[in-house]
């Protein structure tokens, strides 16, 4: 019996980290056109750190994200634009503006132990008629029981799906299986999974997630994303279909979009470098990589030492300033 899986492509959001938030309207429009033609149900468009993320701390966007959302939405006939919102970075007004620009889904993201800060944003998403999802970031940092507790909070606020998010690319397949299985048993809503490839486990972890019952799965074309990138969407579609899952996606059209639109705009290949490997090893937020490289160069220290120390400190998204403090402290040491 064929099982259905919904693929959500994050190239135009998570990939923003990799290209230093330099997406143009033309690039987003071309990618959106290809994703729509390929039959990808949802794809995410916003600053890498979500709505409102364009700032000196997180990195300034070359183009206002509302213009990018509008450009993407204009290409959609069957696909729908999703946005990420991290409470404390994005606001309720940002979400309302995104809806006006054409967004149809919101994924409200919190640290894995802080789902309670998202209640008003989840409620607003439902009120605005959006497909509304809870996104538990850095899910490797909490035991299964805590993840279940936090996922139940998301569901109680109105989330229609809850994601286990391996933001650091630190998980192994047994870690994923345990978390997804527990949520499937505890929740009535759908369960999703978002991977990073810092330990070369993104595809294996994705397969583990769907085999454990996840029905929403993230990927990015050409693996374009923070750190070593995400599960590569076009490869994932092929693998899942070989395993008997129905994605509803035209593989050739997806490959063409990945090769003709995404590959030319990439500033470097998505590969597991020294820094991205240490991200996964130390359990560090994938979007910290470029900040760590910049800080290491500025202070003349090894980016690996910076990332290992950040891992020891258990830093989370929003603590980018700590990266520079750590680099400076390594000089003094």
DSSP-derived secondary structure for 249-316: --HHHHHHHIIIIIHHH-SS-----HHHHHHHHHT--GGGHHHHHHHHHHHT--HHHHHHHHHHTT--
Alpha-carbon separation of residue 116 from 54, 136, 146 (angstroms) = 24, 11, 13
274-332, CATH topology level: Helicase, Ruva Protein; domain 3 (1.10.8)
Domain with CATH 1.10.8.60 in the chain: 274-332
pLDDT over threshold 60, residue 250: yes
Query: Residue 194, annotated ligand binder?
Result: yes
pLDDT over threshold 90, residue 51: yes
Query: Residue 140, annotated ligand binder?
Result: no
Query: Residue 302, annotated ligand binder?
Result: no
> CA–CA separation, 199 vs 184, rounded Å?
25
The pLDDT score that the predictor gives to residue 275 is: 94
pLDDT band at 2 (very low <50, low <70, confident <90, very high): low
For 146, phi then psi, to 5°, come to: -70, -40
pLDDT band at 318 (very low <50, low <70, confident <90, very high): confident
Domain with CATH 3.20.20.70 in the chain: 3-265
205 CA to centre of own chain = 15
pLDDT over threshold 80, residue 1: no
pLDDT over threshold 80, residue 76: yes
Query: Residue 21, annotated ligand binder?
Result: no
Q: Name the catalytic one among 17, 47, 111, 140.
A: 17
Say if residues 278 and 308 touch (Cβ distance below 8 Å): yes
Annotated catalytic residue 291? no
Rounded mean pLDDT, 160-182:
98
Beta-carbon contacts of 7 under 8 Å, excluding residues fewer than 6 positions away, are: 40, 41, 42, 217, 218, 219, 233, 236, 237, 247, 249
40 CA to centre of own chain = 16
The pLDDT score that the predictor gives to residue 316 is: 84
3-265, CATH topology level: TIM Barrel (3.20.20)
């Amino acid at each position: 019996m064929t099982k259905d899986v919904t693929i959500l492509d994050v190239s135009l959001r998570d990939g923003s980290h990799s290209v230093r938030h330099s997406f143009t309207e033309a690039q987003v429009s071309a990618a959106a056109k290809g994703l729509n033609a390929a039959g990808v149900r949802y794809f995410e468009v916003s600053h890498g750190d979500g709505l409102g993320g364009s700032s000196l701390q997180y990195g300034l966007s070359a183009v206002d994200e509302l213009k990018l959302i509008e450009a993407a939405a204009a290409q959609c006939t069957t696909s729908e634009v999703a946005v990420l919102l991290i409470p404390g970075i994005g606001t309720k007004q940002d979400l309302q503006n995104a809806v006006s620009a054409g967004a149809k889904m919101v994924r409200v993201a919190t640290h894995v132990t802080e789902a309670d800060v998202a209640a008003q944003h989840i409620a607003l998403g439902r009120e605005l008629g959006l497909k509304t999802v809870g996104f538990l970031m850095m899910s490797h940092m909490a035991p299964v029981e805590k993840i279940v507790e936090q996922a139940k909070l998301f569901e109680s606020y109105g989330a229609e799906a809850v994601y286990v998010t391996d933001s650091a690319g630190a998980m192994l397949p047994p870690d994923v299986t345990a978390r997804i299985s527990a949520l499937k048993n505890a929740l009535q809503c759908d369960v999703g999974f978002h991977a990073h490839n810092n330990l070369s486990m993104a595809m294996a972890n994705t397969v583990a997630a769907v085999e454990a019952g996840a029905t929403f799965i993230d990927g990015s074309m050409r693996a374009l994303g923070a750190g070593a990138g995400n599960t590569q969407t076009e490869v994932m579609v092929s693998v899942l279909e070989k395993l008997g899952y129905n994605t509803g996606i035209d593989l050739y059209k997806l490959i063409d979009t990945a090769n003709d639109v995404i590959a030319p705009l990439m500033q470097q290949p998505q590969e597991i470098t020294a820094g991205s490997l240490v991200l996964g090893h130390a359990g560090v937020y994938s979007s910290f990589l470029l900040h760590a490289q910049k800080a290491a160069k500025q202070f003349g220290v090894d980016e690996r030492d910076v990332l290992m120390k950040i891992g020891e400190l258990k830093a989370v998204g929003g603590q980018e300033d700590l990266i520079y403090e750590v680099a400076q402290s390594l000089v003094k040491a």
